[in-house]
Amino acid sequence: MKVIQIDKSELDAGLEKLESEFRLIGPVKEKDYHLFTTLTPGQKPDLEYINTRLSARSILYPQSEVMFEFSLDKNDENYAVLKEPQKDRQPTAVIGIRPCDADAYEVVRRNFDTPEYKDPYWLKNYESTTLVGLACSKPCPTCFCTSAVSGPFSEKNVDILLVDNGDHYLARLVTEKGEKLAESAGWNRPAENADETIEKMKLDAESKIKSEVATDNLASQALIDLYEAEAAIWEPEAFACINCGTCTHACPTCWCFDVQDETYGKAGFRMRNWDSCMYPLFTVHASGHNPRGTKIARIRQRFMHKLKYYVDKYEKGIQCTGCGRCVRLCPVNIDIRRICNKMNSYDPETCSCAVTS
């Protein structure tokens, strides 16, 4: 794969060239933290950032998205007809997405792009987006991507991988899409011995990751054993949980949504909004019955989904890229690393886990 060198001093000029062809999105710090933001002309992403407070999920999958419009006006020819609104899907480039967030798109895609079902909204956004990744040379203490399904230099799902090398970036052009973007930006200077340098930096970054999860037994554990491990896992973990949904909202790999109709005067909108299995409403039936009516049942769903059902269904590891956001943001310290290790080490004979923390 081709590696080019982009001097930091020439990055901005390249981004400006891209502005005519792409909607640019990048990490920007407006308050006390970074968030992905659509860049206005001339606005630059802050590539010195560590990671964004919220994940890159909303770039392809907005928290609230209108799917159809309709009219409640009887005289309107569109009365009670669902119509897909015109959407601006101009080519988009995300500048500086971290590998864990890019790999999360691959995880989500397994659900949104299957032979039986294709999510048109997500897929159209995905197809029109070029991902310019930024490798992590200084991983955080709560990052555990290497033992989840990602890594600080993972290029599984980026089109270009930028590696910060002092006064310049080494840019590996991973896909054709990436090559095209580099061409449009005028970045074309080949880098010398870059593969070797990148490999060294990659090993260095991986060795700095101190946090990990054990996942080797998850597939072979019997589903029902884990499900029924109330005393060993679910009860103690559920106690502190306030079912706030911070974890699922912050997570790049969560994909659940709820469909709602809203009206504004005579104009109607059918939209989808992110939902969370941590909320009581998530499963409540029209009859009022809630099959997942307790906190234990809800917390079990989140972790069983990420660490067991997904593992069994797709055989591609866990539904978690190890970005660490839920670990950092859960107000009461429900730590997926601890729970994963408990599930992995659970012994149904003794109903106990080898690890408790």
Instruction: List residues near ligand SF4 by CB under 6 A.
Output: 241-248, 250-256, 276-278, 301-302, 305-306, 320-326, 330-332, 334, 336
Q: Give the position of tokens 């040379």.
A: 137
Q: What share of the chain is helix, strand, coil (3-state, %, to 5)?
A: 35, 20, 45
Cβ of residue 323: shortest distance to other proteins, in angstroms? 12
What residues pair up with 27 in beta bridges, in sequence order?
36
Beta-strand relationship, 160-165 and 168-173 = antiparallel
Q: Which of 123, 140, 267, 297 binds other proteins (CB under 8 A)?
A: 140
Q: Which of 80, 332, 354, 355 binds other proteins (CB under 8 A)?
A: 332
State the binding partner of 35 from ligand SF4, other proteins, none, CB within 5 to 8 A by kind.
Answer: other proteins
Q: Does the protein bind other proteins through residue 342 (CB under 8 A)? A: no
Distance CA(221)–CA(347), nearest Å, equals: 9
The CA distances from residue 165 to 49, 204, 300, 326, in Å, are 15, 13, 43, 30
Cβ of residue 299: shortest distance to ligand SF4, in angstroms? 6
Beta-strand relationship, 129-134 and 160-165 = parallel
Cβ of residue 20: shortest distance to other proteins, in angstroms? 29
Stretch that binds other proteins, among 93-101, 128-136, 221-229, 276-284 (CB under 8 A): 276-284
CB atoms within 10 A of CB 41: 8
Cβ of residue 327: shortest distance to ligand SF4, in angstroms? 6
Q: Which of 148, 162, 194, 330 binds other proteins (CB under 8 A)?
A: 330
Stretch that binds other proteins, among 135-143, 174-182, 196-204, 216-224 (CB under 8 A): 135-143
Q: Which of 10, 335, 347, 348 binds other proteins (CB under 8 A)?
A: 335
Cβ of residue 44: shortest distance to ligand SF4, in angstroms? 27
Long-range Cβ contact pairs of 215-218 (< 8 A, separation 24 or more):
215/147, 215/148, 215/307, 215/311, 215/317, 215/318, 215/340, 215/344, 216/344, 217/344, 217/345, 218/307, 218/308, 218/311, 218/318, 218/340, 218/343, 218/344
DSSP string, 186-214: T--PBPTTHHHHHHHHHHHHHHT------
Choice between 186 and 297, CB closer to other proteins: 297
Choice between 98 and 168, CB closer to ligand SF4: 98
Distance CA(97)–CA(252), nearest Å, equals: 12
State the binding partner of 280 from other proteins, ligand SF4, none, CB within 5 to 8 A by kind.
Answer: other proteins
Q: Does the protein bind other proteins through residue 298 (CB under 8 A)? A: no
Q: Does the protein bind other proteins through residue 351 (CB under 8 A)? A: no
Q: Which of 243, 301, 345, 352 binds other proteins (CB under 8 A)?
A: 243
Beta-strand relationship, 346-347 and 267-274 = unpaired
Binding site for other proteins (CB under 8 A): 31-33, 35, 50, 53-54, 63-64, 138, 140-142, 239-240, 242-246, 249-250, 258, 260, 262, 271, 273, 276, 279-281, 327-335, 337-338, 357
